[in-house]
Amino acid sequence: MTAGPEIQCVSPILYRRLQRSSFSPSGTGNIYLIALPSQSICSSSAAGLWIGGRTMIRHLGRYREITGVMVKYGFGAALEGIIPPLARLGLWKRERADRVVPFYRRVRLAMEELGPTFIKFGQILSTRRELIPQPLAEELTHLTDEVAPLPFETVRPVIEECCGPIEEGFASFDETPVAAASLAQVHHAVLKDGTEVAVKVQRPGIKKVIEEDLKILASLARRIERRYPDLALYNPVGLVQEFSVQIRRELDFVQEGKHAEVLAHNLEDFPRVVIPKIFWDYSGPRLLTMTYIEGVRIDDLEGIRAAGVRPEEVADLLLTSYLKQVFEDGFFHADPHTGNLLVTRNGALAFIDFGTVGVLRPERRDAFIRLMSGVVDEDVERIVGAYHDLGIILADEDLDTFKDEIYTTLRQFRTYELGQVDFGEVMGQIPDTLRRYHLTVPLTMMQVVKVLIFLTAICRDLDPGFNFPIQAGPRIAEIRRRKLLSPEHLAGVSRAAERWLSDLLELPQTTNTTLKKVAAGSVKFYIESPDMLALGASIRYAARLLLIGMVAAGFMMGSSLVMLSTERPVSAGLCSVVSSVTFLGYLAAVVVGVVAVYMVLVRRE
């Protein structure tokens, strides 16, 4: 019998729930659901209770659809306390997941079945390799949003909304799309002047669908943080907010067209790089018309050779164009996959699909250059310094271990035949290292890492002798040299020197003012100690319990005294009143006592 896979680093609450349920991931090797710190299990059962809410009421049908898909693929147990109970009614019995299908593949299949929002979320999540295990990230890169095209009459109103009657704006318009995805489909057309264009049409109603799913994702993220506090470290709410901003930008085709124009301007010195021209008279928020480009995919080596183009030249062109985008311009095509890069018959490299771009500020470009040079030179201190400049701050107690791990990684992936570090493998290990130390990083950094990993892999396919440090190193050094000597950089140095000089001249006056305030006694120091705060909270809690106990005792003693103080016979009516008063007093004492016991035993801090 083959031993089952081991589930590691799972939220403790979720892990116990998965153990109790019929959920059992299959496959070989370890399965990492998500890396988590070792934290205590949340004891509050109230976090799992949920009684309706406007979001659930409005989107109950979609909640049930999501639950049905998750149950279908064997993830029903993970939904307890996250999906509203009303949306789960009658669905648990349907769980019939195919246990032969590997766990991470079931995650991908579930996302594909849930539709465009979840597909896009999975694609973006695949770039956040510091948050999810590498096998899951690799599986999510295979997410596809190819769908059956809509009938032409369904998308015609979207086209005519921007262009007017199709017959007036186009010489011809192919009603059969050349490509169809979950957000849009692309048609080939010819303008009146004979220009061949690609018309990207947004699917009608898709924005409403995505907005509904975004509200549900935001609600689920909040509930996940409440239900599993140890997952809050990974900021699910912030991740959903970041995704919401990005997918809304992708839905705005005007923004996508502007991205294409910026890239075209930045790469105008590369005559063999093609960015499609945008025809704004035929474009709008839901329609984008651009130059039609014919070519073969960049991973089609046979097609490239058949066009008389050497794959090695394509690899060099791809490398130099991306290095300029990332490290010189700080504005780059952030969705690099083989379907978005074409090689034309004349050997030009064409970029398509500009919905996702990355923006890298100048200081972060410099930090990335230092990071890459540190990897090439095996300089651990330079790598750690670059991480710090990128906003990745390590705890002091983890610093030495982190440096040891980086050094070990560099040595492990050294290619001794070439005397160089295997750059692609090292870059691929960066997210794993960040995840082990529970470090979160800006989305832009992971976009750059994704680009660098893709570049290394595709360039090796095109050119088996490709070596990133040897071929990219001199170009990056030249970019940095040009930047240091550029008028903008020199002007920045001048401004910084002026500020430093001004601060230096103000230092004596600032010091004198501070000393006068200290001498006058107007400077106050506030010392905050977590232990003292905890002690104060404990004292206040104990005082509240003492007050409740005294109130309960007062009710009890008062009622007893009323009973004992009746020294003469009383009428039946008065006896009834006295009995009622004393009964109410005893009842109040019991209720207050129960509340006190509940606070001590159940809701103690």
Kindly list the catalytic residues. 335
- The SS3 assignment for 180 reads strand
Tokens of 513: 């003012």
Residue ranges in 342-379 assigned as alpha helix (H): 362-377
Residue ranges in 267-418 assigned as alpha helix (H): 301-306, 311-323, 362-377, 380-389, 396-412
Q: Are strands 341-343 and 296-297 parallel, antiparallel or unpaired?
A: antiparallel
Q: Which residues contact 441 (CB under 8 A, 6 or more apart)?
A: 130, 390, 391, 392, 434
Considering only CA atoms, which of 442, 427, 310 is closest in space to residue 374? Answer: 427
Beta strands across the sheet bearing 273-274: 273-274, 349-351, 341-343, 296-297
Give residue 356's identity as a one-letter amino acid code. T
Say if residues 66 and 59 touch (Cβ distance below 8 Å): no
Tokens of 585: 């007093």
Distance CA 595, CA 605 (A): 15
Tokens of 356: 């996702």
Taking the CA atoms of the chain, what radius of gyration do you get in angstroms?
32
Distance CA 413, CA 400 (A): 20
Say if residues 311 and 342 touch (Cβ distance below 8 Å): no
Distance CA 43, CA 228 (A): 10
